[in-house]
Amino acid sequence: MNWDCKARIECLLEEASQNAVGQYIVPDGAPTTYGLSSPEAFSKELRAHGWVPMKTKRRQYRAVFGKANQSRVAYIFIRKNGIDIEMIRSNDIEELKPYSFHQRSSDIEKAVAHYLAHTTFNLFEGLLRFSESFINNESDLDRYFEAQGSKDKRNEMLRRQGQVRDAERRRLKAERDYYDPDDHGDYPEDMYLGYHID
């Protein structure tokens, strides 16, 4: 299921029962969410950790949060299908004001773009661990700046089908480009085609 999907998993099929009409009934007490499973829940946790909501002029971000520790300023950018982190080393750290505009800096120490698709762990929880490490002023934060997930949301079967389809399109284009009077102007009907071998 896509991380940005509005549907949700309520329970396992074998945990549900069916009524007389065949509709599935979710068992009482089934959790609607477990852990951090949405950008909204992640944002709420960031605020609880003291991260300041910011504004940005970049439209691809749904939300931006900033936080300063003793030597750095970090920003967490929440996208539709991913989360970016930017960290700036600074000697002169000013207090971040809520809903002030995030200013791009040329002093970026580290930056990474994480994708929610194809991660092997809950990325929201992983970035909360980054938050704790950053707040505690840990010096080695490199593990959080290794890109996770994939921009391509397709599973392996769909990826293979796409590669086959792309190869077929390239083959058809090459055949069409070999001789296409519409692309090369008008040629006499008795013109011969050929190629040169070196």
Regarding predicted confidence, which is higher, 182 or 9?
9
What pLDDT digit, counting tens, does each position of 165-194 carry? 888 888 888 877 665 555 555 555 555 555
Does residue 92 sit in the same domain as residue 74? yes
Q: Is residue 7 part of a domain?
A: no
Over residues 109-143, the pLDDT tens digits come to: 899 999 988 888 888 999 999 999 999 999 889 99
Position 95 confidence tier, pLDDT thresholds 50, 70, 90 = confident
CA distance 2 to 99: 29
Q: At what angle do helices 123-135 and 39-48 cross, to 10 degrees?
A: 10
pTM, rounded to two decimals: 0.67
Shortest CA distance to 145 belongs to which of 172, 113, 104? Answer: 113
Does residue 174 share a domain with residue 99? no
The domain total for the chain is: 2
User: Does 12 map to a domain?
Assistant: no
User: From CA 36, how far away is CA 49, in angstroms rounded?
Assistant: 14
Between CA 150 and CA 152 the distance in angstroms is 5
Domain encompassing residue 96: 30-145
Residue 14 falls within a domain, yes or no? no
